[in-house]
Structure 1
């Protein structure tokens, strides 16, 4: 069942929940996402006939997405389409045209990336980072650069953090964390095996486990004490695996550090000033 913000658009919910839905519900959800405007005009029975499932599966799909039933899902779809407007698709077949189209698509979905977050969840996440005696940042695969970037940003804000690029090194460090410490995991897919092993070691040590991921019913989200679910820019789990965009996750990690700076006040600002001093001395004429 959907547990994120009620403001999250239905197609974003589908992209986030589809991997964890039952097979029949996933088929219904993917059918809706593939032609939203047609889905708005169809009844639950018409969707069921089109997909080849029972009407009950359509209703369960709507409920899994956080709606009382299919009529409420249709209303939410209509609202999403209305808000999206009638943006014309580019007909520019050049490489620059394709690049502009990709940027425009990203911009149009950018607000969706944080639509599943809640004030309580973000506040708890930042508080855990602030109060942890020791903080280990863990990220593997295509999320590795985000882990390194996040650790460096935290350090520059006066929040000591560790990041080890080697997966075994992460597991060893996680095993030694202990109570009062925290392991902050970044995983786009929420299914990276090495990252899950790090989380297991961190939890066994008594440390708190924090996670930033794109899928609320992923193994990473299920294993964390506090999770920020950042909706993927891509339309589906398959697209996430193929295109592997981490832009939305990076935007959120950068913003989380900004929230930490605001929470810590003068001490974080002093740390940032010291960081800028070091950077200024590293620049040549």
Structure 2
């Protein structure tokens, strides 16, 4: 399946999102492009094919899987991405603070990638289903668990009550009994967590629509969901994501998603915010 996100998404965002599911030959091409984007701009499809050890047709198919008409269009997009890239003002200098600065600068440079996999149509459908549901079960396991708790608290504060269960069996039991008027909202960075996938199957068995927020477009979670928001990770490769496992991009999008829900709910959203502020005010001591 080819790239279906925003046409403005840069090549590296598309690569890191689709890489785990690409065919082996195309994956080798994509890895080579991501490793040296500047060389991709200078080389022809045949030169890339020779360097990687595949046929020219494989290079063209890789470009098309990434959502481009062909390799020339991919080269243009790569040149554009390179032109827009920023570098850290304070590169790592061997100190802990220098390393922290570099990490923050690297995230800032890729910040725009976090919404490059989204389209207006999918986002509208996602928020509408979330708003219209009679019941919302949020499911997040492993390293995504903190995101699930944060999302439940934010949804509840927006007047959209949601529930979260920590036990994997309890999640499946609850999901199986939700029914078609509810939604099961899954948050999974890798999109491969077995416990989460089991809950999704239970929800579908009970006739419940499944919404998902994940980082990889062809992951099992993305493929199993009825509506999915793909949020490319801030890391530059799937391997980097496995090692460092940042959930910062997912956190940013879930926060913005709740704001979009509040806007859609109109007076209901504003009334919920007013009630939250009232309760917060009562807890503050001078």
- Describe the shift of the 1:117–1:284 C-alpha distance in structure 2 as closer, same or farther (beyond 3 A): same
Alignment map for 1:64-75 (pairs within 5 Å): 64-75=65-76
- 1:137 to 2:138 alignment: yes
Q: 2:93: which partner in 1?
A: 92
Unaligned runs of 5+ in 1: none
Hey, what does 2:193 align to over in structure 1?
192
Who is 2:83 aligned against?
82
Structure 1 position 10, deviation (Å): 0.6
Is contact 2:217-2:230 (8 Å) kept?
yes
Matches of 2:88 and 2:53, distance apart in 1 = 32
The separation in 1 between residues aligned to 2:241 and 2:201, in whole angstroms, is: 25
Structure 1 partner of 2:271: 270
Superimposed CA distance per residue, residues 186-239 of structure 1 (whole angstroms, 9 cap, x where no aligned partner): 000111111111111111111110000011111111111111111110011111
Measure, in 2, the Cα distance between the counterparts of 1:56 and 1:268.
52
TM-score where L is the length of structure 2: 0.96
Counterparts in 2 of 1:258 and 1:91: CA distance versus 1, 3 Å: closer
| C-alpha separation in 1, matches of 2:199 and 2:49 | 42
Deviating runs (4+, > 4 A) in structure 1? 85-89
Shift of 1:91: 4.5
Query: Which residue number in structure 2 is paired with residue 35 of structure 1?
Result: 36
> Does the CA contact (< 8 Å) of 1:7 and 1:116 recur in 2?
no
Contact 1:164–1:170 (CA under 8 A) maintained in structure 2 = yes
2: CA distance between counterparts of 1:160 and 1:11?
A: 37
Post-superposition offset of 1:175: 0.6
- Aligned-partner Cα distance in 2 for 1:257–1:36: 35
Superposed CA deviations along residues 85-113 of structure 1, whole A, max 9, x for unmatched, are 56667142211011011111111110111
Which residue number corresponds to residue 155 of structure 2? 154
Deviation, structure 1 residue 276: 2.3
3-state DSSP class of the match of 1:210?
A: strand
What aligned pairs does 1:1-285 form with structure 2 within 5 A after superposition?
1-84=2-85, 90-285=91-286
Residues of 2 paired with 1:210 and 1:240: CA distance? 23
Deviates more, 1:243-252 or 1:266-275: 266-275
Contact 2:90–2:101 (CA<8 Å) still a contact in 1? no
> Partner of 2:210: helix, strand, or coil?
strand
RMSD (CA atoms):
1.3
SS of structure 2 residue aligned to 1:46: helix
Shift of 1:284: 4.1
Which runs of 5 or more structure 2 residues have no equivalent in the other structure? Answer: none
State the TM-score, normalized to the length of structure 1: 0.97
Given the superposition, is the C-alpha separation of residues 86 and 232 from structure 1 closer, same or farther in structure 2, using an over 3 Å criterion? closer
From the superposition, tell whether residues 118 and 191 of structure 1 become closer, same or farther in structure 2 (CA, over 3 Å). same
| Residues 204/159 of structure 1: CA separation in 2 closer, same or farther (3 Å cut) | same
Deviation at 1:272, TM superposition (A): 1.9
Q: Deviations over 1:32-87 (max 9, x none)?
A: 10011011111111111111111111111111111111111111101111111566
8 Å contact from structure 1 (residues 175, 202) kept in 2: yes
The 8 Å contact of residues 126 and 259 in structure 1, kept in 2 or not, is answered as yes
Residue 281 of structure 1 deviates from its aligned partner by 2.8
